[in-house]
């Protein structure tokens, strides 16, 4: 392959007087607003991301989970910088297949070959469309959000584990510092970035940047 961030609340059910003191009320609000995370930077087989759950890269620079845009809200699973307030999304999984809520699950497929977004009823919303490489030990496969913002499906959680699929091969509109642009001479698949349709719509836009088809290192816009 070529390759180039103080009020008491009184409730009286059935005539009984129940007293909620201020600190208990505050504790309830904290529980409601808690932003849960899965363990560390990894999604392992049998686990998934849904709702407000996220994973964060070990360095704390990137986070993966649901975000929403537009009105009415459309929901996407993506990666964003944790230390940037606006325009911080760097990768979107289901950019062309938005969801109406955040209850679908991002997980590793049962055979371990792909990452998928699937509804609780089993409908497939998005898939990595990895080259079919089912594992003889699918339970060993993990998806790791790496320190450079790359989401990698791997054959294990060691640094030497084989990479089955990675988001750096399928960017959306952003090249990260360790990312790349190129073309696979066997599959003819381009690694390219494509603009968002608008600021509030991450679906594929009109502009794309990729390596010149004639093999030169120019990066024309298409």
Provide DSSP, 9-57. EEE-GGG--EEE-HHHHHHHHHHHH---B-STTEEETT-EE-TT-EEE-
The domain locations on the chain are 36-166
Predicted local distance difference test score (pLDDT) of residue 39: 56
Does 145 have pLDDT greater than 60? yes
Phi, psi of 190 (to 5 degrees): -90, 140
Predicted local distance difference test score (pLDDT) of residue 26: 47
Average pLDDT over residues 12-18: 38
From 63-72, 117-126, 208-217, the region with the lowest mean pLDDT: 208-217
Q: How far is CA 88 from CA 26, 70, 176, 191, in A?
A: 31, 16, 12, 21
Model confidence pLDDT, tens digit, residues 21-65: 444 444 444 433 444 445 599 999 999 999 999 999 999 999 999
Does 139 have pLDDT greater than 90? no
Model confidence pLDDT, tens digit, residues 157-189: 777 888 989 999 999 999 899 988 787 666 677
From 51-55, 95-99, 109-113, the region with the lowest mean pLDDT: 109-113
Reading the block at residue 141, the tokens are 């496969």
Residues β-bridged to residue 193: 209
Predicted local distance difference test score (pLDDT) of residue 130: 61
Predicted local distance difference test score (pLDDT) of residue 9: 30
Predicted local distance difference test score (pLDDT) of residue 180: 81
36-166 topology per CATH = Agglutinin, subunit A (2.90.10)
Model confidence pTM above 0.75:
yes
Q: How far is CA 117 from CA 8, 65, 215, in A?
A: 44, 12, 35
Q: How confident is the model at residue 123 (pLDDT cuts 50, 70, 90)?
A: very high
Q: Residue 138 in 3-state DSSP? A: helix
């Amino acid at each position: 392959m070529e390759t180039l961030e103080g009020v008491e609340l009184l409730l009286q059910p059935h005539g009984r007087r129940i007293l909620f003191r201020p600190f208990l009320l505050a504790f309830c609000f904290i529980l409601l607003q808690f932003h849960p995370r899965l363990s560390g930077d990894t999604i392992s087989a049998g686990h998934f991301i849904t709702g407000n759950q996220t994973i964060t890269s070990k360095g704390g620079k990137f986070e993966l989970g649901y975000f929403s845009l537009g009105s009415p809200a459309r929901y996407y699973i993506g990666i964003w910088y944790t230390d940037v307030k606006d325009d911080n999304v760097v990768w979107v999984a289901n950019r062309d297949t938005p969801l109406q809520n955040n209850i679908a699950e991002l997980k590793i497929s049962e055979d371990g070959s792909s990452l998928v977004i699937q509804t609780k009823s089993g409908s497939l919303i998005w898939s990595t469309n990895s080259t079919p490489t089912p594992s003889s030990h699918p339970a060993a496969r993990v998806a790791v959000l790496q320190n450079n913002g790359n989401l990698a499906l791997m054959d294990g959680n060691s640094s030497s584990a084989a990479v089955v699929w990675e988001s750096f091969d399928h960017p959306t509109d952003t090249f990260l510092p360790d990312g790349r642009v190129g073309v696979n001479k066997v599959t003819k698949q381009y690694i390219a970035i494509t603009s968002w349709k608008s600021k509030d719509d991450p679906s594929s836009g009109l502009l794309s940047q990729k390596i010149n088809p004639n093999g030169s290192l120019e990066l024309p816009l298409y």
